[in-house]
Amino acid sequence: MLNQRLKHGIITKVVGPVIFAENMENIAMYEMVKVGLDKIIGEVIRIEGNNAVIQVYEDTTGVSPGEPVEPTGSLLSVELGPGLLNQIFDGIQRPLTILEKESGFFIKRGRYPEALPRNMKWPFVPIKKEADRVTAGDILGYVKESPLLEKHAIMVPPHIKEGKLSYIIKEGEYTVEEIIAKIDCGQNNIVEVSMITKWPIRKPRPIKRRVSTYLPLITGQRIIDALFPIAKGGTAAIPGGFGTGKTVMQHQLAQWADANVIVYIGCGERGNEMAEVLERFPELKDPRSGLPLINRTILIANVSNMPIAAREASIYTGMTIAEYYRDMGYDVALMADSTSRWAEALREISGRLEEMPGEEGYPAYLASRIAEFYERAGRCEVLGSDERYGSISVIGAVSPPGADFSEPVTQSTLRVVKVFWALDTNLAQRRHFPAINWLTSYSLYKNDLDLWFAKIFPDWPNLTKEIMQVLQEEEELIEIVRLVGPDALSETQKLILEYARKIREDYLMQQAYSPTDSYCDLKKNYHMMSLLSYFYNTAKALVDNGIPVSKINSLPAVQELGRMKFVPNEEFESFYHNLRERLKSDLSSLTKGVKS
Amino acid sequence: MTLKPVIAKEFKTVSAISGPLLFVQKTRNIAYGEYVEIISQDGSVRRGQVLETSFEMAVVQVFEGTGGLSREHTVVRFTGEPLRFPVSTDVIGRMFNGSGKVIDGGPPIIPKEKLDVNGAPINPKSRAYPTDFIQTGISAIDGMNTLSRGQKLPLFSGNGLPHNEIAAQIARQAKVRKTEEKFLLIFAALGITADEARFFRNSFEESGALSRSILFLNLAQDPTIERILTPRLALTTAEYLAFEEDYHVLVIITDMTNYCEALREISAAREEVPGRRGYPGYMYTDLATIYERTGRVVGKNGSITQMPILTMPNDDITHPIPDLTGYITEGQIIVDRALHRRGIYPPIDVLPSLSRLMKEAIGPNKTRDDHKELSDQLYYMYAEGRSLRELVAVVGEEALTERDHMYLKAADRFEREFISQGRYEERSIEQTLDIGWNILSSFPESELKRISLSTIQKYHPAKRHKV
Ligand SMILES: Nc1ncnc2c1ncn2[C@@H]1O[C@H](COP(=O)(O)OP(=O)(O)OP(=O)(O)O)[C@@H](O)[C@H]1O
Ligand SMILES: [Mg+2]
């Protein structure tokens, strides 16, 4: 135990979310404490002699110097076990549904209901038997946690090197606190295992090793999957000014990404956005299984007017939960919206501590904290004697002041993440969504993932390259038009502009709220690219033969390209063959009039 | 919260006065956030709040300002309680100053409850997502950036632009159709001129809204620090009326820029490390404690809709005040100087404007089934027209194609017929949408790519006349 003595300290000063206390001998860094007469939760963030500085996770109004500070002997931790999915927690894992039942629609402070339901019984199926030798991470059995996660693994705790199973409970229904196994680790050390464990949020859970084989995290968002893909276990940042579509994109990824578990952290953003997820996800179906998406989702909500210290903690709470599912061998995707609000919480607390400010008032350790956070992402071989792999993909929204990407949070983030989806205010104002700027965004996974895509669609890499080239050429041509007017362009150049326009409007733009367009599977994505490319390459031959672009463009089959995104995934293949035939015949009808 | 004995403590140990702050020494056990009364030599009482407290000292912000206070003769009375505001339905139709004193000559308010003015965050689990369409009667809003009940939608404006007229027009006309529900208007003035305040008051009076309004007025000559308090009084009242008394409350707050200036002043007096352009680093969080006090909750009939108004310094939308606001609110309505100069009222630039809750507030049974597609097409048309206008400015009209001319003309018509309307003209959503159709009917159908064929069949003027 961290703390033998449970003598309490005394508050000497209160400044917003930060309190100072004396008489705090033997307190540990990041130890959880109970502050004041209301016993609200705080965490020690600095120790100087017998004095400690504590960040408090709830509103400190009414707390005064002289009140006690009670050490708890444990680090700020989360509860892990069945019952996490489908829930909404605050930044320090207080279950918001239960808080609502206990104290109504305004959040009251000083209440700490347990995160995991204690009375609920879970069906446990053992897969190990008595006398089996086990080691950290070995799976003792499974619990059906939700329809989308039928195998929640109950694992041997990470600190156990080697042991023999001296007891394992038979198949049946148990609560999270019941002892389901005992592990004899020798020297009279018997470790009892229940379905619930605790883990300190600031400490990464151990793994065996990181691996670097690349698999894509399929998102169903055309521009991402095709041009700027993210790998499972990868990291991505979505910076953008207000209203550019960060949250919509995060919601899209939470809905459609092919992960087993989604951890969605609403970090200092709007209450209504969490309400939206809570209302919509139970209705939305997972495209693979047809089951409601909420069954694989865990929400962490610290909205903008909730206490800022809990905002600081929220991303670690979410990350620890993500690691727990990764350790079972699952692919987890974690979204944090917005990491800028987390950084601002850090800045505010640092300011109250009167630390030496760095750039724009952020503490000097901002960059290292950001790096440490993203470092917890990755694909790895997890603990356990069977060979299991799990991953955490992290997608962080960034909200740069004035949409100026040169600010510290954006810059520190870009130094560590591998994918950059730059949202563009101009595109958003033109209602081009997703407003990902195709010229400045990048994915460092693109080349590696192309190998994977090429196994399914051999010309996928070429098609995506062609798109990028055309968009680049468009930029140059637009510049010419700006300088000398559209008359200066040749018909071939006009065709390039037309192709680029079709790529932007008929392919890249994707309606999040359209039932048929919101999720585009890989096959449809590929077929859309093929159709556009087919159009361009066939039309080019015609233009070379003197047929004007305007004429090509008015062909019914060409016009039809504009509606292809709304063709449902299931119907797309036949639509594709059909439209391709029609493009072919329509376009070739033009050649008939041309003398060769 | 544990009940502590409420004991007021008095001190005469002011050691320093700096800007709006008092530093009081030898205070023991003063609670953070506690409400304070400051009694000056002449016996007048000001209000304050504890910003920092330690064994030896408390820092108190004085809402009425520290002008005229002396170190020697000031008595500081710590009440042991948060600042509370008395509420009941009696407040309806009444007028208060910026710190909540009755100023209409009427009787004092008999409170039903006294509520902590800082409120508490709404549990996100308890929120009901806003979906009810509010008809403002203004096409640029209803048609293109629809407002819904429980939304926070600010007006971003500039000095000398008619944001007050727009806000007053909205206050006059806003309604949820087909309902007979209880509606109230709360108006909080922060540092606006007496003329402006009178304009609003007259406008409410004219329309008969005054009897269902509540006014909180902190005017230009009133203490600046009081502006920290005024919106909180307004919102505390709104929360009570919405969630205890089932009213649908529209809260208009103007001008939030003055609020932020007050925040900056306090921060400077505390010698905090300034954030961008001198505003405190916690301004986002602070603004959120105002703007987030909006919405609907499950199981309650009432709602709070918020329409803050702010003037952008130098019309700069990247300035921290509009920027941080935009990061919290659910969209923004941009009042544009160029449109205003061209004589268009309301000069709302729909392109950078946005209502994030629009998608749920429109459609069949709410507005009309063609609304979404029509507004998408109008957006596309207007954006196209505007960028062509820029092109014309560079290369001249000659270079334009037939199609380009069509778009240019339509964009002009859009501004003159759709955006532009009278200050007292209240358009139904059907009228608004039909004006949109009229403009679009100048295009061949093949240009209307954002509208489905079935919608064109149903609503295109050319088709409708034939039926
Ligand atoms: N893919 C999309 N399809 C359709 N509309 C979209 C899409 N992405 C964004 N939008 C529109 O843009 C609006 C703003 O998007 P969003 O709320 O995601 O912005 P944001 O970047 O998160 O802003 P903030 O930083 O203020 O939170 C949405 O309400 C929606 O109207
Ligand atoms: Mg957002």
Q: What is the pLDDT of residues B421-441, one digit of tens each?
A: 999 999 999 999 999 999 999
pLDDT band at A95 (very low <50, low <70, confident <90, very high): very high
Residues 6+ apart with CB under 8 A from A180: A124, A126, A140, A141, A154, A168, A169, A174, A193, A194, A195
Q: Is the confidence at residue A156, as pLDDT, over 90?
A: yes
Distance (Å) from the C-alpha of residue A190 to the closest C-alpha of chain B?
41
pLDDT in tens, B83-126: 999 999 999 999 999 999 999 999 999 999 999 999 999 999 99
- Average pLDDT over all residues of chain A: 93
With beta carbons less than 8 A apart as the criterion, state whether B124 and A275 touch: yes
Chain B nearest C-alpha distance from A186 (Å): 47
Asked if residue B111 lies in contact with residue B400, where contact means CB atoms within 8 angstroms, the answer is no
* DSSP H or E stretch at residue A438: none
| Ligand 1, residues at Cβ distance < 6 Å | A 240, 242-248, 269, 399, 433-434, 510-513; B 326-327, 354, 356
The pLDDT > 70 percentage for chain B reads 98
Indicate yes or no: CB of A243 within 8 angstroms of CB of B332: yes
Region A332-336: mean pLDDT is 97
Distant-in-sequence, close-in-space partners of B397: CB < 8 Å, separation ≥ 6: none
CB contact under 8 A, A63 and B324: no
A14 CB neighbours in chain B (<8 A) are 31-32, 52-54
β-bridge partners, A378: A392
Asked if pLDDT for residue A3 goes beyond 60, the answer is: no
| Res A6: pLDDT | 54
Closest-CA distance of chain B to residue A521, Å = 23
Q: Is the pLDDT of residue A248 over 80?
A: yes
User: How far does residue A250's CA lie from ligand 1's centre (Å)?
Assistant: 10
Q: Of B275, B285, B376, which has the smallest distance from its Cβ to A360's Cβ?
A: B275
Tell me the pLDDT band of A538, cut-offs 50, 70 and 90: very high
Average confidence (pLDDT) over A459-471: 97
pLDDT in tens, A274-284: 999 888 888 88
What average pLDDT does range A97-118 have in this prediction?
92
Taking CB atoms within 8 Å and a gap of at least 24, the contacts of B321-324 are B321/B256, B321/B257, B321/B260, B321/B279, B322/B156, B323/A241, B323/A242, B323/A401, B323/A402, B324/A401, B324/B283, B324/B284, B324/B287
Note whether B298 contacts A: Cβ–Cβ < 8 A. Answer: yes
Q: Which pLDDT band, with edges at 50, 70 and 90, does A595 fall under?
A: very low
Percent of chain A clearing pLDDT 90 (strictly above): 83
Write down the mean pLDDT value for chain B.
92
Chain B positions touching A276 (Cβ under 8 A) are 129
Q: Please give the distance, rounded to the nearest whole angstrom, from the Cα atom of residue B77 to the centre of ligand 2.
A: 43
Low pLDDT (below 50) residues in chain B: 1-2, 467
Residue A86 CA neighbour count, 13 Å, CB half: 15
- Best of A270, A349, A353, A424 to disrupt the B interface (most B CBs within 10 Å) is A270
Instruction: Indicate whether A157 pLDDT > 90.
Output: yes
Q: Is B278 on the interface with A (CB under 8 A)?
A: no
Check residue B8 and give its pLDDT. 74
Q: Which residues in chain A are closer than 8 Å to B379, comparing Cβ atoms?
A: 431
3-state helix, strand, coil in chain B (%, to 5): 35, 25, 40
Q: How many beta-carbon pairs below 8 A join chains A and B?
A: 217
Integer Cα distance of A553 and A67 in angstroms: 77
State yes or no: pLDDT of A568 exceeds 60.
yes
The pLDDT, as a whole number, for residue B467 is 46
* Residue in A closest to B289 by C-alpha: A305
User: From the list A37, A274, A341, which residue is nearest B124 (CB)?
Assistant: A274
Q: Residue B466 has what pLDDT?
A: 52
Written as six digits, the tokens of A359 are 């750039």
Domains of chain A: 9-75 (2.40.30.20), 80-102+207-444 (3.40.50.300), 122-195 (2.40.50.100), 457-595 (1.10.1140.10)
3-state secondary structure of B228: helix
